[in-house]
């Protein structure tokens, strides 16, 4: 009978061990892993609370997850479990605020770091808005001297304003978020294009133009001697004779109007500023403290959520079952 008891106890232990080793791989837990950092605007100031931050696993090409900044411009988001990502996946974190955009990138490496630092530096990508209040499109003047007036605004600051490539004084003085301008301009006889260009502090240009005509009293209805339209060699919409009278080059489509269709056709387009990308931190190196600005209060990163130890709970249950089974077998009468 003792032999039978020994065999039964051994069978129970073998069954318990088989159960433990068969279920333990499925009970392994994915430990949380956080990405965190500050979002700075183009002046180096942390953004306010509530600015959305998009976090994307580029490698897996899955939809991004979102979080927002707190009052100190800080964001903190778990990514390893939320996205089901893997070591070696490339991530981007991006934000847009008040017409500015920025992103940072990193490669997931849970072995080297317990969390990932990824600060986002925004760059102004919005061009100024320009408006000419006087003269209006298509106006005709009998006097060669007119006044060009208008205004320009920008999400950060207007840095300069030009009229037909000549810098003008603004009120208030640049740089400023909103300025007005007024300048006298001498017209050439015939059709004239007036172009106003405003540039912001980041180098983004914004422009507007109007076409007006100067027709002095007693001027003949047409010129050119052939009865046809005046010759326009460079195709900029201003006749050769008008350009010669104004002292501009009749063979240069960008003189005097760099924004006309003929000039734009031969001039390379203005390149769009490339958002600055924060370099990927080198694994195993302590992340650099954010330069320039010291936040008034550094928030405490959200502690990783407690993972329920299901594996150990099941082991305890199995162990209790083994003990009860052994006691039951030993207490049975022979």
Residue 162, pLDDT score: 96
Mean pLDDT of 29-50: 90
Q: Does a structural domain hold residue 300? A: no
pLDDT at 235: 75
Residues 6+ positions from 158 with CB-CB distance below 8 Å: 128, 152, 170, 174, 175, 176, 177, 178, 179, 198, 199, 200
Residue 305's pLDDT is what?
A: 46
> Would you state the pLDDT for residue 205?
96
The CA distance from 69 to 315, in Å, is 42
Q: Which is higher by pLDDT, 110 or 226?
A: 110
Q: In this structure, is residue 195 part of a structural domain? A: yes
Judged by average pLDDT, the poorest of 70-79, 86-95, 172-181, 306-315 is 306-315
Residue 97 domain-assigned?
A: yes
Question: Can you give the pLDDT at residue 327?
Answer: 73
**Is residue 275 within 8 Å of 126, Cβ to Cβ?**
no
pLDDT at position 73, please?
A: 96
* Highest averaged pLDDT of the listed ranges 75-84, 174-183, 297-306: 174-183
- For the entire predicted model, the pTM comes to 0.52
Assess contact for 19 and 317: CB atoms under 8 A.
no
Per-residue confidence (pLDDT) for residue 69, from 0 to 100: 97
* pLDDT at position 308: 46
> What mean pLDDT is reported for the chain?
79
Residues 134 and 250 in one domain: yes
pLDDT at residue 297 is higher than 60:
no
Q: What is the pLDDT of residue 315?
A: 67
Q: Are residues 106 and 136 in the same domain?
A: no
How many domains does the structure of the chain reveal? 3
pLDDT of residue 26: 41
Rg (alpha carbons) of the chain, rounded to whole number = 36
The answer to the question of residue 22 being in a domain is yes
Instruction: Classify residue 187: in a domain, yes or no.
Output: yes
Pairing mode, strands 34-40 and 115-117: parallel
Asked if residue 283 is part of any domain, the answer here is: no
Give the mean model confidence (pLDDT) for residues 172-191: 95
My answer on whether 107 and 153 are in the same domain is: no
Q: Are 141 and 258 within one domain? A: yes
Q: What is the CATH number of the domain that holds 120?
A: 2.60.40.1120
- At residue 158's C-alpha, the angle toward residues 153 and 159, to 5°, is 165
Lowest pLDDT segment from 16-30, 35-49, 199-213, 259-273: 16-30
Domain span holding position 65: 34-124+274-278
206 in the same domain as 242 = yes
CB 260 within 8 A of CB 236: yes
- pLDDT at position 333 is 54
The mean pLDDT of 231-252, rounded to a whole number, is: 76
Q: Over 50: is that where the pLDDT of 285 sits?
A: no
Q: Looking at the domain assignment, is residue 142 inside a domain?
A: yes
Is residue 314 in some structural domain? Answer: yes
Q: Sorting pLDDT into bands at 50, 70 and 90, what band is 263? A: confident
């Amino acid at each position: 009978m003792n032999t039978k008891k020994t065999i039964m106890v051994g069978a129970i232990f073998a069954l318990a061990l088989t159960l433990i080793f068969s279920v333990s791989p499925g009970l392994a837990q994915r430990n949380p892993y956080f990405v965190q950092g500050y979002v700075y605007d183009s002046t180096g100031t942390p953004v306010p609370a509530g600015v959305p931050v998009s976090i994307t696993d580029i490698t897996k090409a899955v939809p991004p997850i979102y979080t927002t900044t707190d009052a100190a411009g800080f964001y903190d988001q778990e990514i390893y479990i939320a996205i089901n990502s893997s070591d070696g996946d490339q991530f981007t974190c991006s934000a847009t605020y008040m017409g500015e955009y920025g992103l940072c990138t990193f490669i997931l490496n849970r072995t080297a770091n317990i969390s990932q630092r990824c600060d986002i530096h925004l760059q102004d990508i919005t061009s100024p808005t320009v408006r000419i209040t006087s003269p209006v499109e298509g106006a005709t003047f009998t006097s060669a001297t007119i006044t060009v007036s208008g205004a320009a605004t920008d999400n950060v600051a207007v840095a300069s304003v030009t009229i037909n490539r000549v810098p003008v004084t603004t009120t208030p003085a640049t740089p400023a978020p909103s300025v007005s301008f007024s300048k006298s301009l001498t017209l050439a006889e015939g059709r004239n294009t007036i172009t106003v260009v405003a540039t912001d502090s980041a180098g983004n240009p914004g422009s507007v133009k109007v076409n007006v005509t100067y027709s002095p009293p007693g001027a003949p209805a047409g010129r050119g001697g052939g009865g046809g339209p005046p010759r326009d060699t460079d195709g900029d919409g201003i006749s050769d004779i008008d350009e010669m009278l104004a002292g501009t080059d009749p063979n240069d489509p960008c003189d005097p109007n760099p924004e006309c269709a003929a000039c734009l056709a031969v001039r390379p387009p203005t390149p769009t500023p490339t958002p600055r990308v924060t370099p990927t931190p080198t694994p195993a190196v302590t992340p650099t403290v954010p330069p320039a600005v010291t936040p008034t209060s550094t928030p405490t990163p959200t502690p990783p959520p407690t993972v329920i130890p299901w594996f150990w709970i099941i082991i305890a249950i199995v162990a209790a079952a083994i003990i009860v089974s052994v006691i039951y077998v030993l207490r049975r009468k022979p």
